[in-house]
Amino acid sequence: MAAFSITERVAGWITDVIKAQTTLSGEEFGYQVTAGFAMTPQGTTISWLLLMTLRHPLLGQDALGASTVITANQPSEAGVREFATTSVELLRKSFEDAKTKAFAKGNGHSDLPAGLLRGKPL
């Protein structure tokens, strides 16, 4: 009899996406795949919680995260890969936004001429 772990299969799809998109970046993404049950008027439903994280650019801050819930006995490969791909992009954007917000307004960056901000002479 053949058998497989749904959790490990879904985690493998997420890992594939992360490896493909971060080969040279050195980013540390985390992920968690958890099955759960919910009561609905129609009865019990199986739901999968998928979570992806990326370390925060500031020390001591909680990791940035993206999550989704998929209601199915087994999540589809296409749906999991789409979630992972979208999450990598969103977490990278959140990382850059957090870095930008971390700069103090008085550090002079906003006062530089536009040519110097791009590294071009005036």
What is the pTM for the complete model shown?
A: 0.77
Question: What was the pLDDT predicted at 122?
Answer: 46
Predicted local distance difference test score (pLDDT) of residue 108: 54
Domain boundaries, the chain: 6-98
Q: What is the C-alpha to C-alpha distance for residues 29 and 10, in angstroms, rounded to an integer?
A: 16
Give residue 58's pLDDT: 87
Average confidence (pLDDT) per 10 residues, the chain, 122 residues: 92 95 82 91 92 91 94 95 96 91 62 54 48
Q: Are 92 and 98 in contact (CB under 8 A)?
A: no
Q: Outline where the chain has alpha helix (H).
A: 6-21, 77-102, 114-117
Class in CATH terms, 6-98: alpha beta
